[in-house]
Amino acid sequence: MKVCVYAIAKNEEKFVRRWLDSMREADGIYVLDTGSDDGTVRLLKEGGAHVKTEIFSPFRFDLARNASLQAVPEDADLCVCTDLDEVFAPGWRKGLEEAAKAGAEQIYYRYTWNFNPDGSEGHVFWTGKAHTRFGFEWRHPVHEVLYTTDGHESKVAYAKGVWLKHLADPTKSRAQYLPLLELSVREHPENDRNAHYLGREYFFHGRYDDAIAELKRHLSLPSSVWKDERAASMRYLSRCYLIKGDMREGEKWILRAVAEAEYLREPWVDAAQFYVRTKRWHGAAFCALRALEITKRSMSYINEPAAWGYAPYDCLAVAQYYLGDLENSLKNARIAADLNKDDPRLAANLSLIRAAYAAKKE
């Protein structure tokens, strides 16, 4: 099987050598540079990559990725799209080849989007950017997605031993994302995924009224049927209203999120945090316990590190403290503090609960 890696790049000289080392298992590495003015192109060529340059004005990710795909030789069997701030764990090629044996057209693998300050994994999901040479194209100006060119649903496989890590530059600007998302929605207003992403991006930019309008529009779209993403829009709606000081609407939307996707841990954690905030300890304990009953993490991008780390234990410890269950409160406060050692609030809570428990034992 001939396996090729393809990518787009602009001013990535700090990542080139690390990325090339990670991609060496491929039969060929093809990069489309979109206008670097540093040493990116030189370093790529010195490292053996095939490099072309094309400027897109205005820039959009789908056009750039499609152009980079076209540089891959036609006799390639498997194409793997990565970015230069990503690295594969060794052995990735064998894992993808094994997954492709049954005739898969698109292969998913484990992707760590970010890491916590202590080095543990943060946001983790499965991504499917490995695919056959023909029959696929990228669409949408940003948060671009692979589509089959004839519209059929691709045959997929999961390469369970393959791991791609995103080791991003935290100083890199995301400023272009918002206008590109707005363009995506103008081009395809009926696309539910783009509507959710735009509403979420408005939230990140502090444009809460715009976020509320777009997230509600997402929920109203006929194509908006994926419960995980619907629940995520509801959670962002809740956060918008809580920031605006509307506690009633904030509670309503988080409870709707729980009802929409009760199998996900994230809505339960958001609900537990809301009830801690409003000092409704029975509700906080109930929601935190329901969150902890969910032990299988979603394979989609709809998951949040805190929900799978300290947050449910923290909520439960606080609720149990005020409900008088100091023994279990101490146990859960210890777990929360161990899972997030850099948070001084969790350490302070643990000390307070430990002292209260010791005093009670006396």
Q: Would you place residue 176 in the very low, low, confident or very high pLDDT band (cuts 50, 70, 90)?
A: confident
- Looking at residue 86, its pLDDT comes to 98
Q: Mind listing the pLDDT tens digit for each residue in 36-65?
A: 999 999 999 999 999 999 999 999 999 999
pLDDT, mean of residues 201-208: 97
How distant, in Å, are the alpha carbons of 10, 100, 178, 300 from that of 185? Answer: 25, 34, 11, 22
Are β-strands 78-81 and 106-112 bridged in parallel, bridged antiparallel, or unpaired? Answer: unpaired
pLDDT, mean of residues 27-40: 98
C-alpha dihedral sign at 153, 232, 213, 172: negative
Whether the per-residue pLDDT at 237 is higher than 90: the answer is yes
Q: Mind listing the pLDDT tens digit for each residue in 59-86?
A: 999 999 999 999 999 999 999 999 999 9
- Looking at residue 157, its pLDDT comes to 98
- Looking at residue 169, its pLDDT comes to 84
Whether the per-residue pLDDT at 173 is higher than 80: the answer is no
- The residue with greater pLDDT, 195 or 174, is 195
- Looking at residue 48, its pLDDT comes to 97
- Looking at residue 66, its pLDDT comes to 98
User: Which backbone phi and psi does 6 adopt, to 5 degrees?
Assistant: -135, 155
CB burial of residue 18 (10 Å; 0-12, 13-18, 19+): middle
Q: Would you place residue 175 in the very low, low, confident or very high pLDDT band (cuts 50, 70, 90)?
A: confident
Whether the per-residue pLDDT at 168 is higher than 90: the answer is no
Whether the per-residue pLDDT at 119 is higher than 90: the answer is no
Q: How many other CB atoms sit within 10 Å of the CB of residue 88?
A: 24
Specify the amino acid at residue 85.
D
Q: Which of 46-50, 117-121, 257-261, 316-320 is predicted with the least confidence, judged by mean pLDDT?
A: 117-121
- Looking at residue 335, its pLDDT comes to 98
- Looking at residue 72, its pLDDT comes to 98
Q: Mind listing the pLDDT tens digit for each residue in 338-353?
A: 999 999 999 999 999 9
Whether the per-residue pLDDT at 174 is higher than 80: the answer is no
Q: Across all residues in the chain, what is the average pLDDT?
A: 96
Report d(CA 16, CA 39) in Å as an integer.
9
Whether the per-residue pLDDT at 241 is higher than 90: the answer is yes
| Domains contained in the chain, CATH given | 3-166 (3.90.550.10), 173-261 (1.25.40.10), 281-362 (1.25.40)
pLDDT, mean of residues 234-254: 98
Q: Are 317 and 332 in contact (CB under 8 A)?
A: yes
Q: How many other CB atoms sit within 10 Å of the CB of residue 306?
A: 17
Report d(CA 344, CA 342) in Å as an integer.
6
Whether the per-residue pLDDT at 116 is higher than 90: the answer is no
Percent of the chain whose pLDDT exceeds 90: 94
Whether the per-residue pLDDT at 251 is higher than 80: the answer is yes
Report d(CA 279, CA 285) in Å as an integer.
11
Q: Mind listing the pLDDT tens digit for each residue in 278-333?
A: 999 999 999 999 999 999 999 999 999 999 999 999 999 999 999 999 999 999 99
